[in-house]
Structure 1
């Protein structure tokens, strides 16, 4: 039957004050008032606020200037007739290094209204180019020891004039924490972050104006090994044996003069309380060796050693655009446990990545050992075997009988439980605080439903992200790994982009993907690459195409495609070079990692999918995404070239991996899921393939058998081909293997394996059994985009054109989600009650939406009490709306 589209143009009944058009949340490069940007053409974004429905921007004007009193705008766009309100590129005079700028915007809408000028927003440029660095690299003067105590470096200087602005630019080989006059510089941790250091080393910029004093001042910097020279990826000293600092303080005085305080040979070095620090193994802090006041001006550093200046390159230095790692949620113990082995264990109730802050009072020399674990074993004892070689242990030594507060500096742990040894006195929960650390990406999405276990699954998905997005998307936070596995990242990206604003986080990381790509185009399976030379593999190296395209869909910024297109193209060309006859059978492939398998498999129950079938599907998928990107960027010749290639790839797939009757040579869920998700089958064969998929699921008593590769797409494929009922059956399955099995077993994060803890309480093999491993959390994408139905159109990416198409099932009474788009809050929630279906929706200004309501001609459909006329529908009534809040009610027919 013919579908009917209704266009709703209702006038909102709101207070006059709320209908006033205005502009809010000004951002530049997706950040609020950032400092240290090196981008010559930064992108401006803003949001409209209007109490009227169907509000669209029709024009804007931006003005910018230097943030100096009395100086007017230096650049104005004039009135630009455009609906674009996100990612508007600066196109004014060249920006100067280290300058403070402001910007404002005003807009006009389709109701004939003009907003006033927004409140000013600000940004500060960075050093812009390597030649702007006046500082020298410096290393500690002390000889390196086996324990590698963290070096302390200090410098004193004087300011005798009034300071109007002071900016510190800092980076390191290793990690750093800086203080000025005894106060911490910034609230970021694990700086300068982890990148492909040989090609890209970030520096951070800090406004330290308020930290300076008139007269004597002191700078103190502590260094740690971190990723640079510590144990990482089963190697040590991957980037070098040195540890070094680069520091530059730019001071502007009220009289118009300026001064730079830089790292050079005048600095001094020593060591202090941090005697040992490694990412995997933990820290040793001996408070007896703390140098009180070492980061203040009056400290006597006569016995300190002069630093050494070193001629390290500055050509790879880049500004930081992604959000830094910061402290977030805190937890108090929910239980004090005395295990059967006699261990004293604290339970914080949540598996997280971070550390524990401890208060302790005892005798000088008392040593407290804090060990970390994710789970207790079947008997209730502290379990660390799955950490492999990671010691995950912090040791604190008291200096005297006063109360001490201890926490690490250059390490983190994945844990829910800690074991205490040597703690003096009684255990009081107030003396222990677990702190979660992760990149400070803005929270954007929420989800809730009438299903308690599903809500806990959502919680676990969120905490899987928080535990693994520490500057790079790691696989796990607890064992001797914590690497940027590309397969995990591409599988989880769409879910991540709903939960958090990950555009800056992934833009930074994808530049490292391109930097690690070989000249031939191969992409390593971990980025930054810690595993040495390797040939790319399907599902992992395809991150080069999958993430950029999905970033474009999620955020609507063509710049990510511009930046990554050469890498995308090189990857597809590399695979083509390894695929004679258009069949990709060369290279190393992990296949459907951690798929369902049976130890004593005598009847073929293990769901083994041919690795080369998987590779062929991803070869086709990456080629399609390259075509999509080329089309967006106007590269028409590439569109033609790679479309011809894609046709050959699909033909080769049909000839090699399908039977004349349409069956696949691997009769597994993953095989059918990938073939259908990536359109590898002719259209006339797809319905039967979907039926075969459903039949396979039923053979396993309505359980999934997919691994890292098949799982993200499983429910999407089922819904796409009319099997949403089976998608719900899988999602709500509570026995192994399923998403809810770990929930039933008490998980607070996503597990690496479907049966990390087996039904009998024993563990999977310890060599690979993480309990915080986000890949299977990719089901969240289906929950948000299909169950609730919040999605973006490909021709209106970034939620400029929205679809709300809920899929009801599973016996759920209601489900809802909110998402903070670049335009404002998008929300939808459906509810079933007594034969009535209700859908509430909120559409942000400057966007439009198409809403699909489950309705038949026999149903009565109203919006905010007003009846909607219907002529003919095909299971759904399609309604097009503009911005505003809506309440649709469907009653009667179903």
Structure 2
């Protein structure tokens, strides 16, 4: 390996993205070197238009730029052209003058940058008379392609969900395209490079459309056609030849359509598929479509079209069944061993016309029988009609299920588990986080947190993937986003979702409870839910150093805080209106979902928090006047919070864990009041035998507030608690994901409720960021966000012998871990990627007693600024891997 290398060049977070519409794409790269203390001093970027050898058509050459920036470097060349591939490469110089070679060549390709470039027409099946059991539509067209083809690219979208086919093959591996957005304002289109699929001569293109979120059942009120009553597709294929000629094949009135084997397909209810109606060659040029009818063309707005922003949903892994169960009720049930989201693929032999029914559920009831009560109106059912004549393999198209258990009805012949595969589907985000520790149950908790994210990050951050809901609840998203950003690269995912939040935000600045707003009759805008408008973009900035998302969302962020200011009897308190409060708090009154913490206390706490984040955002963006305005708002709100909710002697008026956690986490109290609040919180937990009582609002902040205020051991005892209510209670009950309720399944096996009892609901998985940030000690410094400057401060705790976290940042892999050695000393391991620095605290260390790699600190390469403090040894590290060993006092 060369001494200095540039690796993994990306554009807009992605490797070689197709069809982007950013006017100035941001480029980034990582640096690889075996040496310690490597930092970039300068870079050079070359961008060419269509020439991957950079021999001609170089449109932007930065020359040697003195800068240590290696992420979010904005393209600064001439205005980009539509439908054009731009190649780029990077080289760097380090602080010692060492020059790297060029990186591997990467590219981005632009999409259709102007709505006028869409010459295709929206095509639809003839309108049907309101039948709910609506089959999918198949539309097709033949066309000719000549010799000398250079490139073929399809741009496509739909009202509904669609699949593309070309010459008998499915195009791409994206599922549930075009995704779910605020369709009236933002509709994504997808780009496909189909050059290898085009044949010289006659070709055929086809598209299948289903209801999806656009036209199918959405929400528990079973509303249909939320966005429109007609499915439609928009398809545009561009053929570019070596001699410069271009041809376009577009959806228009010349296409023909029919129905096929997909007789019904709904997000909630599943799919009915009649294999006898399959047309294997329907998207080939030789197919006889004499019985097909002309499509209808629709006049629909194309100005709302935007390029795909996040990664699409895909099949990301397969899992195999772990067992076959005969329940006491006589049911035949397959156990997948994991609560998963996606669908079941199976192979079967059956006579033509034989109907198989497959139902999906998360759990078995206390008697061991198949349980679907918590699905409410969602059917989650697959009906498959065999075509006969041999083995046939099937998997669904426009639906997904949340399940661990699968009940088979009318399944022919002997059941062979080898014929069944669980196909796990979610937005194809890059995994970035790993955590492990000495406690197996906590490792299982980490597993469950990860699978909760997998199951609920399917194009939008859903609240549950099984019942008749699956909506993008804002409160759930904001409490989990920090954990999510440890585990996966969620920047494009949340950037896209925040665009929809901004689009669906009401004119008065209030924010719908779910995004996209699938509950249009619900105008309630609750604290902690609407605050997602501020917390989520700020978190993306902290985790990825992304200032563009702050710029794009800043008006939305301000509008939310301004909306709050207009509420209530006092502009510095929020004491009116509807609020979800500490949702599902265990201290709620009988029959209530809302915890005991006063809703005006919670609302005012989040008011102060969001105002402060808007002020910080304004500072980052260089908007000094706004920064001062919202800093003043925060100061006034904090002052009023103290007047309203803190007694003259410094006691919070609300004796709840959530009230105290929020006051500490949001810095709403200080001095002696802060110390008293922290001590009171710890005492409440101790008096409750180290059990929590918090709901959705308090839980994410509880352990952080304790660890930060000097009660880290109390936080650790909460995390290690095994009795209900606790995180480990569900683990011991056999959970493989995070539950919606602390007691979704009670100790006696009975269930909390049918009405709202998801067993895959990620909100309480927000404890994950405490495992990373506090226990393992891995965090970023807000002053140099995106892990440009890393904070390493592991906090060992009783009950743990070691903890280790790793995170693949935009600069490379960061690691922080500690271990108690057999001789009683503490070992701390740190990995710092090139072009970053880390501020490290070695807890309980004495400066004279620390060795790194067997050497005294003074002799250790890459270690600087060593100093003794009350909490240990503080030092600064350049890039590289380090191992510190020392006698730890009081740790």
TM bin, normalised by shorter chain, reads over 0.9
> Match for residue 286 of structure 2?
298
Of 753, 760, 765 in structure 1, the residue corresponding to residue 753 of structure 2 is 765
Cα distance, 1:578 vs structure 2:
1.0
Q: Aligned in 2, Cα 1:139/1:893: closer, same or farther, shift over 3 Å?
A: closer
Q: 2: CA distance between counterparts of 1:857 and 1:591?
A: 46
The alpha carbon displacement at 1:599 in A equals 7.3
Q: How does 1:450-599 map to 2 (within 5 A)?
A: 450-533=438-521, 534-581=523-570, 582-597=572-587
What is the alpha-carbon distance in structure 1 between the residues aligned to residue 382 and residue 37 of structure 2? Answer: 57
Secondary structure at 2:408's aligned position in 1?
strand
Secondary structure of the corresponding residue to residue 417 of structure 1? strand
Aligned residue number for residue 5 of structure 1: none
1:742 aligns with 2:730: yes
Q: 1:636, CA displacement in angstroms? A: 0.8
Could you say what the CA RMSD is over the residues aligned between the two structures, in angstroms? Answer: 1.5
Cα distance, 1:355 vs structure 2: 0.4
CA distance in 2, matches of 1:333, 1:731: 31
- 1:889 aligns with one of 858, 861, 885: 885
Quote the offset at 1:72 in angstroms. Answer: 3.6
Q: State whether residues 349 and 390 of structure 2, in contact with CA within 8 Å, keep that contact through their aligned partners in structure 1.
A: yes
Q: Are 2:152 and 1:163 aligned?
A: no
Cross-structure match for 1:131: 116
Question: 1:88 and 2:73 equivalent?
Answer: yes
Which TM-score applies when normalising by structure 2? 0.97
Partner of 1:3: none
Q: 1:272–1:291: 8 Å Cα contact kept in structure 2? A: yes
**Distance across 2 between alignment mates of 1:219 and 1:213:** 12
Q: Give 1:633-644 correspondences, 5 Å limit.
A: 633-644=621-632
What is the CA distance between 1:606 and its match in structure 2? 10
Give the alignment's TM-score, normalised by structure 1: 0.96
Q: Residue 379 and residue 83 in structure 1: after superposition, are their counterparts in 2 closer, same or farther (change >3 A)? A: same
Aligned position for 1:212:
198
Per mean C-alpha deviation after superposition, the further-off stretch among 658-667 and 775-784 is: 658-667
Preserved CA contact (<8 Å) 1:856 1:874 = no
Q: How does 1:391-402 map to 2 (within 5 A)?
A: 391-402=379-390
The answer to whether the 8 Å contact 2:584/2:593 transfers is no
Matched positions, count: 875
Q: Secondary structure of the equivalent of 1:705?
A: coil
C-alpha contact (below 8 Å) 1:855/1:873 kept by paired residues: no
Residue aligning to 1:59: 42
Residue number in structure 1 paired with 2:863: none
Q: For structure 1, which segment, 657-666 or 95-104, has the greater mean C-alpha deviation from structure 2 after superposition?
A: 657-666
Deviates most, 810-819 or 561-570:
810-819
**CA-to-partner distance for each residue in 1:771-823, whole Å, 9 max, x for gaps?**
00000000000000110001000111000000110000132111101110100
Deviation (angstroms), 1:842: 0.8
Matched-pair contact (CA < 8 Å) for 2:542–2:780? yes
Report the more deviating stretch, 657-666 or 211-220: 657-666
Q: Please name the residue that 1:873 is paired with.
A: 869
Verify the 8 A CA contact 1:161 1:254 in the aligned structure 2. Answer: no
Unaligned runs of 5+ in 1: 1-16
Q: Does 1:74 align with 2:64?
A: no
Question: What is residue 23 of structure 2 aligned with on the other side?
Answer: 40
User: Cα–Cα, structure 1 residues 887 and 397, in superposed 2: closer, same or farther, change >3 Å?
Assistant: same
Determine the structure 2 residue equivalent to 1:4: none
SS in 2 for 1:766: coil
Q: Distance in 2 between matches of 1:871 and 1:738?
A: 39
CA distance in 2, matches of 1:688, 1:310: 66
Q: What SS class does the counterpart of residue 236 from structure 1 fall into?
A: coil
Q: Which residue of 2 aligns with 1:434?
A: 422
Could you say which residue in structure 1 is the equivalent of 2:661?
673
Following TM superposition, by how much is the alpha carbon of 1:698 offset from its aligned partner in structure 2, in angstroms? 1.8
Deviation at 1:656, TM superposition (A): 1.3
Q: CA deviation at 1:141?
A: 3.2
Flag the 1:171–1:214 CA change in 2: closer, same or farther, 3 A.
Answer: same
Query: 1:716 aligned to 695, 704, 708, which one?
Result: 704
1:841 is paired with a residue of what secondary structure?
strand
Distance 1:32 1:871 in 2: 42
Q: Distance in 2 between matches of 1:525 and 1:857?
A: 51
SS of the residue 1:746 aligns to: coil
Counterpart in 1 of 2:634?
Answer: 646
Tell me which of 772, 797, 821 is aligned to 2:785. 797
Aligned twin of 1:855: 844
Q: Which residue of 1 aligns with 2:297?
A: 309
What secondary structure does 2:431 align onto? Answer: coil
The counterpart of 1:273, out of the listed 241, 261, 267, is 261
Q: What is the CA distance between 1:32 and its match in structure 2?
A: 0.2
Q: Which residue of 2 aligns with 1:227?
A: 213
Are the aligned partners of 2:140 and 2:205 in contact in 1 as well (CA < 8 Å)?
A: yes
Aligned mates of 1:651, 1:881 — CA distance in 2: 40
- 1:856 shift after superposition: 4.1
Counterparts of 1:630 and 1:229 in 2: how far apart (Å)? 40
Deviation sequence 1:694-747 (CA, Å, 0-9, x none): 111122111010000000010100011000000000000000100000000000
SS in 2 for 1:656: helix
Contact 1:498–1:819 under 8 Å retained in 2? yes
1:448 matches 2:431: no
Q: Deviations over 1:118-139 (max 9, x none)?
A: 1210111000111110101111
Whether the aligned pair in 2 keeps the contact of 1:141 and 1:269 (CA below 8 Å) is no
**CA deviation after TM superposition for structure 1 residue 557, in Å:** 1.3
Q: Is the 8 A contact 1:548 1:561 kept in 2?
A: yes
Equivalent residue of 1:41, what SS?
Answer: coil
- Taking the aligned partners of 2:36 and 2:728, their CA distance within structure 1 comes to 40
Pick aligned residue for 1:151 from 137, 148, 151: 137
2:395 aligns to what?
A: 407
1:244-393 equivalence runs, <5 A: 244-393=232-381
Deviation at 1:68, TM superposition (A): 3.8
Secondary structure of the corresponding residue to residue 35 of structure 1? coil
Aligned to 1:840: 829
- Report whether the alignment pairs 1:193 with 2:188: no
Per the alignment, residue 861 of structure 2 pairs with none
Cα 1:598–1:575, aligned 2, differ >3 Å: closer, same or farther? closer
How far is the alpha carbon of 1:142 from its aligned partner?
6.3
Give CA deviations for 1:445-479 in whole Å, capped at 9, x if unaligned.
00011100000000000000000000000000000
Contact 1:856/1:873 (8 A) holds in 2: no
**Partner secondary structure for residue 264 of structure 1:** coil
Alignment partners' CA distance in 2, 1:892 and 1:62: 47
CA distance in 2, matches of 1:532, 1:268: 35
Distance 1:708 1:164 in 2: 54
2: CA distance, partners of 1:893 / 1:539: 40
What residue is the counterpart of 2:82 in the other structure?
A: 97
Q: Secondary structure at the match of 1:256?
A: coil
Report the Cα offset of residue 600 of structure 1: 6.6
Deviations 1:487-527 (A, max 9, x none): 00000000000000000000000010100111110111100
**Structure 2 matches for 1:111-130, cutoff 5 A?**
111-130=96-115
Which residue of the other structure, out of 635, 638, 661, is the alignment partner of 2:649?
A: 661
User: Structure 1 residues 727, 266: closer, same or farther in 2, change over 3 A?
Assistant: same
Query: What does the per-residue CA deviation read over 1:164-218, in whole Å, with 9 as the maximum and x for residues that have no partner?
Result: 1011000000000011001111100000000000000000000000111001100
Deviation, 1:875, is 2.7
